[in-house]
Amino acid sequence: MSALEIMKDLFFIERGYLNSNHFVYRSEEPVLVDTGYLSDFDITERFIEDRGVNLSQTRLIINTHTHCDHIGGNKIIQDRSGCDIALHKLGKYFIDTRDDWATWWRYYSQKADFFTCTIALDDGDVIPIGPHEFLVLHTPGHASDGIVLYNRKEKALISGDALWEDDLPTITMRVEGSTCLFDLLSSFEQLESLDVKIVYPGHGRPFTNFKEAISKSKKKAHEFLNHREKSGDSLLKKIIIYTILMHRQVDEKAFFDHLMGTHWFKETIDLFFKSEYQKTYEHIMRDFLHRDIVMRKDGMLFTTVKP
């Protein structure tokens, strides 16, 4: 797995789609940013400890938001180490009140464990990761509790899921509200004011075309506002793949019925595609199979997307 020392003793570990990227500050009191998906914790642990970090000595975990692919290892690491965990103040409220809807866990039928959040962050705070100081900026849109971390000295942005290089993250209006795309556009405007040389996203490789990425993201957000079905299509495709990754593989004959038993699948098709459940599902799966994004073997479906 790719690991890059981005500042002295601060490592970026690239994962895939099911698991967020990680940031690991190596010291006698390690600091982590985001901890992946719960079911893959054994892999996460190995990647982090390969950097010479003892998780039982962890001092602090910072999460860019409370979605399951970013907080999955929190409870295990906190139980071992007694570490502090820092979230945006909204995320702290979600965790304190055991709100598994606002965090998306229940809406998307995802695995996650509650933990104890000990530090509430706010827009404009400065938080140290070892000797490296990061400005905290609140960036709602994808997640109401989303934050980015900006290091002014290195002009480096840990963007979480607020900014990707070539795509928008999942937009979940049923949880985040009908104005979340406007929130996302406001977040992009805030990010545009930063002097950024390199972005370390929550998923995908680091990138330097910061302004271009924001321009692409703003364009796509406006497309979603002007053509609502594009937002629905994007959500369905992303979460269908995510669901297959969560289960490793799924029974092809039973998969549609499984999706029909979830909150998100029916509600998204009700909202964007006139409740045409079977038709919409078959259209998406044909496209996935044609492009080898999803493949069949012995009656099972699996995806070629990296977890």
Mean pLDDT computed over 138-162: 99
Mean pLDDT computed over 261-275: 97
For residue 254, name the pLDDT band (cuts at 50, 70, 90).
very high
Mean pLDDT computed over 230-256: 97
Question: How high is the pLDDT of residue 55?
Answer: 98
pLDDT in tens, 220-235: 999 999 999 999 999 9
pLDDT in tens, 41-96: 999 999 999 999 999 999 999 999 999 999 999 999 999 999 999 999 999 999 99
State percent of the chain over pLDDT 70.
Answer: 99
- Domain spans in the chain, listed from the N-terminal domain onward: 3-226, 228-303
Question: How high is the pLDDT of residue 1?
Answer: 60
What CATH code is assigned to 3-226? Answer: 3.60.15.10
The mean pLDDT of the chain is 98
Question: How high is the pLDDT of residue 174?
Answer: 95
pLDDT in tens, 183-213: 999 999 999 999 999 999 999 999 999 999 9
Residue 4 has pLDDT above 70, yes or no: yes
Question: How high is the pLDDT of residue 44?
Answer: 97
State percent of the chain over pLDDT 90.
Answer: 99
HEC assignment per residue over the chain: CCEEEEECCEEEECCCCCCCCEEEECCCCCEEECCCCHHHHHHHHHHHHCCCCCHHHCCEEECCCCCHHHHCCHHHHHHHHCCEEEEEHHHHHHHHCCCCCCCCCCCCCCCCCCCCCCEEECCCCEEEECCEEEEEEECCCCCCCCEEEEECCCCEEEEECCCCCCCCCCCCHHHHCCCHHHHHHHHHHHHHCCCCCEEEECCCCCECCHHHHHHHHHHHHHHHHHCHHHHHHHHHHHHHHHHHHHHCCEEHHHHHHHHHCCHHHHHHHHHHCCCCHHHHHHHHHHHHHHCCCEEEECCEEEECCCC
